[in-house]
């Protein structure tokens, strides 16, 4: 008789099910909060004005302020950021901005 252990597919399936039930929490890394990050525009002023959703302030003034000086992320809503600049607040999709 051999002393080598035998491989059982049933035991392997049970083991895999237990691994899936435990989740991948030990693998996932906590995401660093983007709130407070200073960002700048990746697009032209004209495109920025058309893509932003104004929350507070004058749209042209807020867009110019952000385009020239950048802004700070104050809220993250999925793929949209609420950006604060000296002249107001606006929402924009993250694809139109980059870290400063």
In a domain, 21, yes or no: no
Contacts of 53 (CB under 8 A, 6+ apart): 90, 91, 92
Per-residue pLDDT tens over the stretch 29-84: 445 688 999 999 999 999 999 999 999 999 999 999 999 999 999 999 889 999 99
User: Which pLDDT belongs to residue 17?
Assistant: 78
Per-residue pLDDT tens over the stretch 6-33: 878 888 888 877 776 655 555 454 456 8
> Nearest CA to 88 among 52, 53, 50, 62?
62
In a domain, 70, yes or no: yes
In a domain, 64, yes or no: yes
Calculate mean pLDDT across residues 81-97. 95
In a domain, 2, yes or no: no
In a domain, 53, yes or no: yes
Instruction: Tell me the residue length of the chain.
Output: 100
What is the helix (H) or strand (E) element at residue 55, kind and residue range?
A: strand 53-56
32: left (phi over 0), alpha (psi -120 to 50) or beta: beta
In a domain, 55, yes or no: yes
The dihedral of CA 19, 20, 22, 27: what is its sign?
positive
Tell me the residue range of the domain where 43 lies. Answer: 38-99
In a domain, 27, yes or no: no
């Amino acid at each position: 008789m051999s002393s080598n252990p035998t491989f059982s597919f049933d035991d392997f399936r049970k083991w895999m099910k237990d691994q899936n039930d435990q989740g991948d929490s030990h693998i996932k890394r906590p995401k660093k909060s983007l709130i407070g990050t200073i960002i700048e525009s990746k697009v032209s002023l004209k495109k920025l004005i058309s893509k932003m959703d104004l929350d507070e302030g004058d749209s042209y003034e807020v867009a110019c302020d952000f385009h020239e000086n950048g802004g700070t992320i104050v809220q993250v809503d999925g793929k949209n950021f609420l950006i604060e600049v000296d002249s107001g607040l606006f929402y924009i999709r993250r694809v139109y901005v980059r870290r400063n």
